[in-house]
Each structure stands twice: as C-alpha cells, then as structure tokens.
Chains A and B, each alone.
Chain A
C-alpha cells in the first residue's frame, strides 16, 4: 500500500510527462482527463457551430431546448442513441461495423501526444508529429471502408472522392509540416526535433513563433497547412463528400443512430487534432503572447489573470442574457437555468484566480484558447465560402498547394542556411 502511494506521489515532483516518466497511473489519469475534455469540447463545438452559423446567417439557431439552446447537444445525443440501427441488406457486416470504429480510434489516439503544456501531455514521443500525421491518415481507411460496406453507389462515390481528397491534401500538409520542423533545427547544435513538446520549446528558445519566422515564409507555410487541414477533415469549403445537395450524405448515408454519431464525433475530434498540430507548430503551443519580450514579474502577473477574466466574461454574458430573457412564466425554468450556468462559469473563473490553480492552468488555457480560435475559423469558413467542385478541389491540392509547399520548403531551407553561414560567422 505504501509503495503504491509512493509510486503515485513520486510523479508529482517530476518535470516530465507521465509517458516519459513511465508512470502508468498518472498516464491513465491524463488519458481520462483528455478524453473527458475532448468529449466536452465536441459537445460544445456542436452547439457553437449551430449558434455561430445561425448568427452569421442572421437567424437565431436553437433556442428552445435549453436557455439559448444550451441543452441542444444533449438532446441530439439522446436522439441519436435511441434511433433504430439500420444495416443495409447486402452490406458487408464486419466491415460496416468496423469502419466507424477505425475512424473514431484514429481520431482519438492522436491526442496521446498533443502538448497542452511542457508536462501536460500524456506522453512525449520523439516522433510526435510523425505519429500524429500517421494516425490521422488511418482515418482515410475507415472512410473508404464505410463507403464500400454500405453497398450502395452514393456512399461509394462519396467515400472514394473523400479519400482521394484527403490523400492529396496530406501531401501538402506534410510539406508545410516539414518546413516548420526545419525551423526547429536553428539552434546551437544544429539538430531539430520531431517531438511536439520539443517544437514548442524550440519556439520558446528562438524567441518567436514560427508563423513569424523568416517572414513571409512561416506565414505561407502556415497558410498552406491551414487550407490543407480544412480539406483533410472534409469541412467546408471542401465538404463535397458529405454535402447534402451533392451526394445525399456521402459516405455516411447508410449509417444511422449511434454509428453516425461516431463519425460525427470523429470529425470534430479530427478538427481539434489538426488544429492542435497547427497551433503547436506555428502559433507557439502553450506559450502566452510575448513570452520573451514581455517577461518578468508585472507582465507574468497580468497574463496570469487571463483565464479567470475569460470565464468571468462568459459569466457576465450569461447574466446579461438572463436579464434579457422574456418575462413570461413559461420561460422561468430557462431563466433560472441560464442564471445557474452563469453562476457556475463565474465560480470557475474565481477559482482560476487562486494562485496554485492559476499557475497550473496557464499553459492549458493558452493552448485551448488558440485551438478555440481555430474552431471559430472553421465555423466561419463554413458560413462564408461556397463549396469547391471536386475537380477544382483536386486541382488546388496538386497544382497550387503542392508547388507552394515545395517552394516554401526550399526557400526556408535556403534562408536557414544563409542565416547560419553568413549572419553567425
């Protein structure tokens, strides 16, 4: 018993991730925390997407289910769980069953290496970025299997188109990632690193986020990745494979109920995963803005207030909307619900001002804030851009993004070499 407690508490003073430190208990705890956080994030994304799209289209979105539709995702989840599970008659049972499983597994396993902080990751492989790219390319297989197993032509065409699109944009993604990894090797030893935590630490050591490095090369690489990641996750404006007016619903037409919700879950998780890659590689991961320039005591103190202030801001919005609720007796429960939600958010905000919590939550907060920015961008793209036709999509992937990626890689390598040889003589 005493050894178990010793094992558990020995990790609390180490400065490594549980995977690297070899501590199974804490690795398990972190896995549960990431899984929970991811589930909450996917549910929140569902609500946010519908509300934000609605507000962009000058309408209100879900308003009935909870106060301002806050309980809508829960209602959706219950509906999907209770729906009849249909399997097409001639469909291949085993493959039909396995396809959503593979997509969900691939989308969730990626989070093993996502760095929420210097020690706040489940593990830190020294091939971290390679692992993320590889496992997210396994989800293409799940989509192909889903389209084929449905044994009807709309899903098959949708699946083949979708997987062709994903494979094409993986190439452009890879080139943009390579040019960012190249920038990690500009240190005194001349060796870079593929580990996610190492990449953020390289940005910290070099004093600038890679998006601003060798301006405009970092920006172009980031742009290529930002476009390729939207195409990779089959989101607008590259969502030909699942657009309702084009192919009924593409590869997940024949899936109903819980199986469909697995695809849906996997899509949002994949969105968050590739956004995490973009944030880690170009936007400085868990680093707060200006970690080196504005360092020291007053700036640290000011920036440490951000998490608490953000939650208090959300609580203030809730209270403002509570006051604006209609004063009808039928709205009483919703009003009380919204006020309660505001109180919960306010309490979380106040807890974040407490110094021990504030110190630990900083990195996770900045990382999550940046990923949330990306999620907003995803929803913004969906509300703004018209859909690409499939041949335009493929043309852009191979004829525009790939040459741009190669160019950025060559130029980055050239400028990095110049910087080493000429300016550091």
Chain B
C-alpha cells in the first residue's frame, strides 16, 4: 500500500499514477479483510477499483497528457510539506509510544461469518436516516451532473 501511494505522487505519467492508485485501493481492500470486514473489502473492490478508477482512467485518457509528461515536476511548497509530514509523523510516533492504553478497554468481538448480515441489520435499522441522507446526496450529485451536461434544460 505504501509503495502504491508513493508511486501515485511520484509518477510523471498520469496513467501510471492511476494504476498505482488502483494498487493502493486493492491493498486497502486487503486491509479491510484483515480487520474481519469482508463485505467492505468486496464493495471496495467493486466500486472503487472497478468503477471509480475506470472513470478516472477515462478522463485521464481523454485529456491529452503529452504536455504534462514533458513538464518539469516542481515542489515549491516544500516548507509546508515538511511541517505537515513532521506533524503527522509525530502523531504516529506518539500513538505508537503510548501503546494500547489510548484505545478503549474492551474490544468488540470481530465477527466474520455473518458480517454482511450484521451490517445490513445496522444500516437498515439503526442508521437508516444516515443511509437515506447519503442516497439523497448521491441524487443531488446525479442531478447536478445532468444539469451541467445538458444543452437545454
């Protein structure tokens, strides 16, 4: 996952960056698997790697990339970058040093067998409101895309 992430930001060719992003997303799916969440891993592969990245690749391929490959790469904000990276690194070291005392005492049992069923029960039961709001958000996005792309409304 780290190699994929580094490759995304260092490649000159945007298509190579997109492919490295796909590798990163697949590695994330396997992280979900290791956390006993097979449903999220499967959905991640279907939607992210198989849907969204295809759309990314469409856009990248339809936009001419000859100029961007030949451009010299620059990083003129290196001071801000170093400060942000140091802060994040300090956070990681602090969490690691403190150990497991930060996290809550009892760990929820990691269920894998009926993971999908439990997600469904919670999503359609307890978190139904959030689910509907999220679908409304997607509807707004679709309507916005149609409005922007149509010639006459």
Q: Please report A residues at the B interface, Cβ cutoff 8 Å.
A: 92, 94-95, 98, 125-127, 130-131, 133-135, 137-138, 140-141, 144-145, 148, 156, 160, 163-164, 167, 170, 191-192, 194
Contacts and interface: CB of A to CB of B under 8 A. Distances in A.
B51 A167 contact: yes
Contact of A95 (B19, B43, B53): B19
B58 to A, nearest CB: 6
Contact of A137 (B15, B46, B61): B46
Interface in B6-44: 13, 15-16, 19, 22, 38-39, 41-43
Contacts of B53: 141
B42 A126 contact: no
Interface stretch (B82-90, B108-116, B129-137): B108-116
A160 B16 CA distance: 17
A92 B13 contact: yes
Given A126-B112, A130-B43, A160 B50 contact: no
A180 B50 CA distance: 22
B116 A138 contact: no
Contacts of A138: 45, 49-50
Interface of B: 13, 15-16, 19, 22, 38-39, 41-43, 45-46, 49-51, 53-54, 57-58, 61-62, 112-117
- Interface SS of chain A: helix, strand, loop or mixed? helix
Contact of A130 (B39, B61, B114, B117): B39
A133 B13 CA distance: 30
A95 B15 contact: yes
Contacts of A135: 45
Contacts of B113: 126
A82 B115 CA distance: 50
A178 to B, nearest CB: 12
B101 to A, nearest CB: 34
Contact of B57 (A92, A144, A194): A144
B58 A163 contact: yes
Contacts of A141: 22, 49-50, 53-54, 57
3 nearest interchain CB pairs?
Answer: A137-B50, A130-B42, A134-B45
A144 B61 contact: yes
A92 B15 contact: yes
